[in-house]
Amino acid sequence: MRLSLTTQILAALALGGLVGWLWPPVGQSMQILATIFIRMVLVIIAPLVFATLVVGIAGQGSLRKLGSMALQTLCLFMVITTLALAIAFALGNLLQPGHDIAAAVSQVATGIGAPPAESFWIRLFPQSIFDAMARGDVLQIVVFSVLFAIAVSAAGTAAGPVLDWCRSLAQVMYKFTDLVMLAAPVGVFGAAASLVGKQGLQVGAGFVRFMAAVYLGLALLLLVCFPLLALLFRIPLRRLYQAAKEPFAIAFATASGSAALPKTMEHMEEMGVPRSVASFAIGTGLNFNASGSTLFTGVGSLFILQAFHIPHTFGDQMVLFGTLFLVGKGIAAVPRAGLVVIAATLPSIGVSPEVVGAGIGLILGIDPLLDMPRTAVNVAGHCLSSALIARWQGALPR
């Protein structure tokens, strides 16, 4: 039997830690494997963010026809995303998950760059999109992509070939990401061997606080925020639980929201959500309403800043908050999307690619342990969203 990618990554994590513990010099030399893999992840970001944002904005031509339902859906997604990020930043600052990580700061300290001296508002706008892509400046890529998408939408049918090209580019980048992720076990092995070779096995204890912060945040979303939203708008919790429990279990077991999609649609229709509402709310939710993944990216970003002792102000955190909000909407459907979002976002506050790469290497090994619960919470959010939209449309039976 072929082992799943999650199993391969966990096995690589254990094997890399063992090599780094038994033969530290050999483990330290394995850093090259992690570096190559992380570079391949970083190269995905610019074309993927551009293509998915253009398609996500200009490709929603049906939004005008859908009218109030589309507006309600997008507003709900923004509220849930804001809640998830607010919880993530609160827990990240309260628990300081990266504080105890004995990262090899001395090896990457030279890569920590200060944020540019020019105004933040000036830095938003690129002189050249190719220059922004070459530097990995995601804020500039986002601004250009949004303006480009508005222009594509305004051009109407004449822009059809451009929009089709962006759709094709997005699909190609998804497949490119799949190919890169096949090498994830090799990258994890190199990162684990190198880190343990430099710091010893005690480095593993530092991840406990990080995992606790993510699990606590997911629990708050699932057990507090979602039920409160349901009760506020008179969604029957027992019926919602009965409808969501099987899709939730499938998503948890497979770490795939797409795998749970058929059952999610089926059970929400059985609950009384009209098919048109369920298909729109759940279909768009796959890309725009990944609340569990959003929470993970917020905690993960702060974890890296703390692990490498990177000074950052409240303003830096607000920039990070806004960038995570925007970038996460574009690439939420990508496998291991949280890592790509984090890698795309940290440079917005002046964190260099070297530090981003080293930080992703820290998280990569334990990502499978966090992937299943956050995907399950994503699916729970899809179920709740479809029920709320149906209620607001007056289509949900009481």
CATH architecture of 5-392: Orthogonal Bundle (1.10)
Q: What average pLDDT does this structure show over 46-63?
A: 71
Please say whether the beta carbons of 361 and 187 come within 8 A. yes
Residue 270: what pLDDT? 87
Please say whether the beta carbons of 314 and 355 come within 8 A. no
Residue 229: what pLDDT? 93
Please say whether the beta carbons of 240 and 230 come within 8 A. yes
If we measure between CA atoms, which residue out of 286, 281, 293, 291 comes closest to residue 386?
A: 281
| Sign of the alpha-carbon dihedral angle for 134, 48, 326, 247 | negative
H-helix or E-strand containing 361?
helix 353-364
Range of weakest confidence among 44-48, 199-203, 310-314, 361-365:
199-203
For the chain, domain boundaries: 5-392
The one-character DSSP state at 236 is -
Asked if pLDDT for residue 145 goes beyond 50, the answer is yes
Please say whether the beta carbons of 30 and 196 come within 8 A. no
More confident residue, 395 or 116: 395
Q: What average pLDDT does this structure show over 77-98?
A: 91
More confident residue, 2 or 392: 392
Residue 128: what pLDDT? 84
Residue 336: what pLDDT? 67
Please say whether the beta carbons of 358 and 103 come within 8 A. yes
Distance of CA 305 to the CA centre of its chain: 17
Structure token pair of residue 317: 């955190």
The one-character DSSP state at 392 is H
If we measure between CA atoms, which residue out of 354, 370, 364 comes closest to residue 310?
A: 354
Give pLDDT tens digits for 98-143: 876 644 444 444 344 444 445 556 767 888 888 888 776 666 787 8
Q: For the chain, what's the residue count?
A: 398
Residue-wise DSSP of 188-228: HHHHHHHHHHHH-GGGGGGHHHHHHHHHHHHHHIIIIIHHH
Average per-residue pLDDT in the chain?
A: 80
Asked if pLDDT for residue 377 goes beyond 90, the answer is yes
More confident residue, 152 or 4: 152
Please say whether the beta carbons of 289 and 374 come within 8 A. no
Read off φ and ψ for residue 396, nearest 5 degrees: -100, 120
Task: Indicate the Cα dihedral angle 357, 360, 364, 368, nearest 10°.
Answer: -150
